[in-house]
Structure 1
Amino acid sequence: MKKIALLTLVMGMIQFGFSQDITDAVRYSEDNIQGTARFRALSGAFGALGGDMSAVSINPAGSSIFNDSHISISTAINIKNNDVQYYNGFNNSKKTNFDLNQTGAAFVFYNRNPDSKWKKFAFGASYDKVEDYDNNWLARGTSNSSIDNYFLSITQNQAIPFGVLKLQPGEYIEDAYANIGANPNYGYSVQQVFLGYWAGIIDPVNLDDLTNDEETNYLSNIAPADSFNQSYIYNSTGYNGKFSLNFSSQFTDRIYFGINLNSHFINYDKITQYYESNSHPDALVNNVYFENILSTYGSGFSFQLGSIVKVTQSLRVGLTYNSPTWYRIEEESSQNIDSNYADPEIGYIGDIINVYPAYNLKSPGKFTGSLAYVFGKYGLISFDYSLRDYSNTKFKPSSDPHFSEQNSIINNLLTTASTYKIGGELRLNQLSIRGGYRFEESPYKDSFYQSDLNGYSVGLGYSFGNFNMDLTFDQAQRDSNYRLYSNPGFSNSAFIDNKQSNITFTVGFNL
């Protein structure tokens, strides 16, 4: 009977808790279009060039640069390497995956009216992976702060009567956890205190007075100590993808216009596992395990407007506006907790899924200005500059107290960030040699949270006439301080030096 009741709870429960914060806002606002090998070889500096399917994802006017209809498909080997420092501990992890990261086609139609200034039109459809969320790392070290502060800090900021944490007659422990989450007066934060109590980590001060349901003061069963051995495992999978419909045209011999209508989709799963131990002789709790699982699904819409002008036959100028992306996001979570002092029934809580109400997120818009110089058949050099104000990221509905608080945090911590990209190509008959560099400023006002990004790229291409093959290696590096939990009482952070390397292969055809 317990299993049947549990399934009913999982299927029917709607939770009113919150896990959304500034890290989610940044995650879904940043873009790192992986694209074709040629695009990546020039570090994405393609805003004024066009003539490449991933260039169209930067400036929609670029499809009219094609002389013929074109199709391309790209695969990549993605390698993420993390060096992690956590107090006195150092660890390294690496994750490699193979991926289809781009495909698309552009169809070019020439205007046969010789008197018209509109020379040609292009229509395109493409898929680009915007971000790859596959990642894993381990933080391990000795800290002087325990996980008990995670639970105690909630009780210090919110009066939680002990009676809320107790089981009602005939109520199972998983029922109580579910009911607390479904109650709009309690929600996610009280669920955490419930976990801390039933895991034996915290108790009410007057535990001996079992009739005192109004008690709101709590203490830890983990004795104060100078050192706690801690491990934190992070594992995530998923992606942020974009499907685009492109429309562009060429006016006279020098001006190109375009628009992209973009459909976005997010699929993100994260599992974190925390272990803590201590050898203090006065501690009732010497070992703690705390697992959190999050699944995120989202969809969104954005548009892009772009133009390219050939100032001369060699010099090109590009300008692009990326609208904000309007996302609708749904999340589910589950939790597991255990300790050497936990109630034996605590394991059933791991079967409860918290289903949160859908929310909206508006990512910031972006402006990109581009310059390119083409040396005839010998090669080219290109430069892109982008500007995006991350403080304009907004959770909605903004009338919600939690989202209003997070929007205030975003406004205080995030800032306007610039991106610089430069790339070049040398053509030796059918062979092309390419290279590029990019620099992205941190979206945070304080680079302590996330540093600037530096990246470089090298690549080769070979044209067989109506068929081309391209191969590129690129690498980018960025540091970050990752807070294990978004809780002021337990602010332990891991310092992560992340390097992302990619080997991309593209084949393209003129139709």
Structure 2
Amino acid sequence: MKRIHTFILLLLCTLASGQTINDVLRFSIEDVQGTARYQAMSGAFGALGGELSALSINPAGSAIFNNGQFSMTGSVHQKKNNALFNGSFASTNESNLEFNQVGGVWVFKNRSGSGWNKLAVAVNYDLVQNFDNDILIEGNSTVGIDQYFLNYAQGVPLGPLQVQEGEFIEDAYLDIGGSLGFGAQQAFLGFQSGFIDPVEFEDDNTAYFSNADYDQVNQNYVQSTNGFNSKLVMNFAGQYENFLSFGASLNFHSVLYERVTFLTEFGYDQESAIQSGTFDNFLRTQGSGFSFGLGAIAKLGDIVRLGASYQSPTWYQLTDDLSQQVNSDFPDKNPDITFIDFSIVNLFPRYTIKTPGRYTGSLAMVFGTSGLLSFDYGYQDMSNAELRPTSDPDFNSENQFISQQLGGVSTFRAGGEYRLKQLSLRGGYRFEQSPFKDNSAWGDLNGYSGGLGFSFGPNRLDFTYSQTRQDIPQSIFELGLSSASVERINSFYTLTYTLNF
């Protein structure tokens, strides 16, 4: 009973922060999902409106609807990751079915002769990101697990890293995290599992060495993620004199992100005291976010449309849970290290991620009932992203790093539609600049899309295929270990049903 009671008390202790630039990027970058028509034109709807998912680009778009509308969308999302790690290649494929959009708009026409001839209210749910993904990285590296623990251990006194007489190892693990923070906790894991040892077995020792000998070591790393970032848009817009439309939206996000990683390492030198090791982590992030949007669309003659919009920063309130397990075949390790497993949970304090605001300018040409062409340009200054509270010295340091590493991101979207009576043919292209000022490993995103729609009575069915490609670096761990180059390929097969009323 004493063991369970101690575990529960220490489970309530919070840890020092471990959030980084990667957490900011995860929630700042959004996919082009939504309705099939929206995807088919690569999201180039800033000057067009008249599509529920387009409210995320320009809130004035709901005033373009001529009547009420309801739509719902499902997609088959395929993800392929090609990882190149020190000359070794590995690939993963995953497919999942997702329900990524549902919404409706109600249009109220004013027949009293006022200049405001139309008002619209819309509610729309979109899946902004689907986190379901698998990455496999395997190959030889000159940097092993021991370096991860060494980087955290140097400068940490040995005294707190030892299990006291009568103390359970899992209690000591949670206690050091709550009192000294994440870095000291990782040093504790490295020492207790035998990857590192102190230069001197004195409580005030702060220097450590590795028990692993190798020129290169073989690593097998598996990362599996799942979860979502969804957005509920509450929108209101009005049209003045059939010329100018204004709109505003309140956006409510819901976030769940889970990531489990398994790292297996072997192939040390024959005389090494360690011949194999494992290090596994399970992270769970949950929370909510809020943002707002403002926009306008102007109709210049019968053909030209201009759009301008502002999407505010999104303020995410998040909490993290972290579980870890580590082991090696070092003969003098603490044999109780296996008691630290995924059932021992660290609770981090609540924190905030503020993503940068985004400005969008749009141009469209509408050729009556024959078709249209549309172009959007968006800009988002990623250097303004930050972790909060900024009074936290770790967050303040990471925010300075973010401002140095990240820069302005330009996004170009182009789309077109050609109508043949009841049939519509669509296509689009999307380009998104790398968020880094100088990081050749993180490439630009390129995307292509095509689709068709068929109208019958008040109903419409739309189908789209879209694909994006981007090269990104994938770190095996945040500190100490190597990175792989991953070509990320996302493909969507999307079907939307629309009812006009």
Same fold (TM over 0.5): yes
Identity of aligned residues (%): 43
The one of 317, 332, 343 equivalent to 2:306 is 317
Distance in 1 separating the partners of 2:443 and 2:481: 19
What does residue 156 of structure 2 align with? 160
Distance in 2 separating the partners of 1:285 and 1:148: 10
**Pairwise mapping of residues 65-464 of structure 1 onto structure 2 (< 5 A)?**
65-114=64-113, 116-156=114-154, 159-183=155-179, 186-207=180-201, 212-223=202-213, 225-341=214-330, 342-350=333-341, 351-464=343-456
Distance in 1 separating the partners of 2:217 and 2:268: 8
What does residue 29 of structure 1 align with? 28
Q: Tell me how far 1:308 sits from its aligned partner.
A: 0.6
What does residue 474 of structure 2 align with? 482
Distance in 1 separating the partners of 2:373 and 2:157: 67
User: For 2:340, what is the secondary structure of its paired residue?
Assistant: helix
What does residue 499 of structure 1 align with? 489
**Conserved in 2, the CA contact under 8 Å of 1:243 and 1:263?**
yes
Cα deviations by residue, 1:124-162 (Å, 9 ceiling, x for unpaired): 111011111111011000112221111112233xx2221
Distance in 1 separating the partners of 2:268 and 2:107: 72
User: For 1:421, what is the secondary structure of its paired residue?
Assistant: strand
User: For 2:395, what is the secondary structure of its paired residue?
Assistant: helix
Distance in 1 separating the partners of 2:160 and 2:312: 46
Distance in 2 separating the partners of 1:22 and 1:227: 29
Q: Which amino acid aligns with 2:273?
A: L
Distance in 2 separating the partners of 1:141 and 1:330: 34
Distance in 2 separating the partners of 1:15 and 1:55: 41
Q: Tell me how far 1:377 sits from its aligned partner.
A: 1.0
Q: Tell me how far 1:278 sits from its aligned partner.
A: 2.2
Gaps of 5+ in 2: none
Distance in 1 separating the partners of 2:304 and 2:168: 72
Distance in 1 separating the partners of 2:309 and 2:60: 9
User: For 1:193, what is the secondary structure of its paired residue?
Assistant: helix
Distance in 2 separating the partners of 1:101 and 1:306: 24
Distance in 2 separating the partners of 1:258 and 1:74: 24
**Conserved in 1, the CA contact under 8 Å of 2:451 and 2:465?**
yes
Distance in 2 separating the partners of 1:293 and 1:387: 34
Q: Which amino acid aligns with 1:107?
A: W
**Conserved in 2, the CA contact under 8 Å of 1:306 and 1:320?**
yes
Distance in 2 separating the partners of 1:265 and 1:449: 30
Q: Which amino acid aligns with 2:53?
A: S
Distance in 2 separating the partners of 1:276 and 1:44: 44
Distance in 2 separating the partners of 1:4 and 1:481: 41
Distance in 1 separating the partners of 2:369 and 2:156: 73
User: For 1:16, what is the secondary structure of its paired residue?
Assistant: coil
Cα deviations by residue, 1:102-124 (Å, 9 ceiling, x for unpaired): 1100000011202x100010001
Distance in 2 separating the partners of 1:333 and 1:164: 21
**Conserved in 2, the CA contact under 8 Å of 1:448 and 1:480?**
no
**Aligned residue pairs, count:** 498
Q: Which amino acid aligns with 1:241?
A: S
**Conserved in 2, the CA contact under 8 Å of 1:13 and 1:182?**
no
Q: Tell me how far 1:213 sits from its aligned partner.
A: 1.6
**Conserved in 1, the CA contact under 8 Å of 2:198 and 2:208?**
yes
* Normalised TM-score (structure 2): 0.97
User: For 1:25, what is the secondary structure of its paired residue?
Assistant: helix
Gaps of 5+ in 1: none
Distance in 2 separating the partners of 1:163 and 1:436: 61
Q: Which amino acid aligns with 1:435?
A: G
Q: Tell me how far 1:3 sits from its aligned partner.
A: 5.3
Q: Tell me how far 1:88 sits from its aligned partner.
A: 2.6
